[in-house]
């Protein structure tokens, strides 16, 4: 199974998503996108396949979003993608790519909807929230 995660190891949501992929018995290809950003063509493909708009993929928190004036709704998609290419931290994460689609996994448990195999055991997020029970079933909120 080929699963790719565009990952930031400094992000708890990204770490939880990666752990849930591994809890499904899958060792994904991990792309630390701040060190190795996707090409423009790949970023455009990820946006299209995810069903998101470039604006929906923009990250505000901890980024130069405000300083770059990216809140300006009149900016074209190409300008937003230019900004993400120049400042990869603006690409929200984690993005997960697999045979069942591309998903921005915020919250992290959204990854469960696109994994081709079930969870193999209990999973608790870093903050203590129980997501998967010991039988591998999703816990209701």
Q: Do 60 and 114 contact (CB within 8 A), yes or no? A: no
Query: Residue written as tokens 């696109």?
Result: 114
Residues recorded for the chain: 141
Q: Is 105 labeled as catalytic in the residue annotation?
A: no
- Contact of 88 with 37, CB cutoff 8 Å: yes
Phi, psi at 32, each rounded to 5°: -80, 90
Choice among 3, 5, 11, 104 that is catalytic = 11
Give the DSSP letter string of 62-105.
TSSTTTTTTT-TT--HHHHHHHHHH-GGGB-S-EEEETTEEEE-
Max Cα-Cα span within the chain: 49
Residues with a catalytic annotation lie at 11
């Amino acid at each position: 199974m080929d699963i790719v995660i565009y990952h930031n190891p400094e992000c708890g949501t990204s770490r939880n998503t990666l752990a849930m992929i591994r809890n499904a018995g899958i060792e994904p290809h991990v792309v630390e996108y701040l060190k190795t950003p996707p090409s423009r063509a790949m970023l455009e493909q990820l946006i299209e396949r995810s069903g998101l708009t470039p604006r929906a993929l923009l990250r505000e928190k901890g980024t130069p979003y405000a300083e770059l004036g990216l809140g300006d709704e009149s900016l074209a998609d190409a300008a937003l993608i230019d900004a993400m290419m120049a400042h990869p931290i603006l690409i929200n994460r984690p993005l997960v790519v697999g045979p069942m689609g591309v998903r921005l996994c915020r919250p992290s448990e959204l990854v469960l909807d696109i994994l081709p195999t079930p969870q193999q055991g209990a999973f608790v997020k870093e903050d203590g929230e129980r997501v998967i029970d010991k039988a591998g079933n999703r816990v209701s909120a």
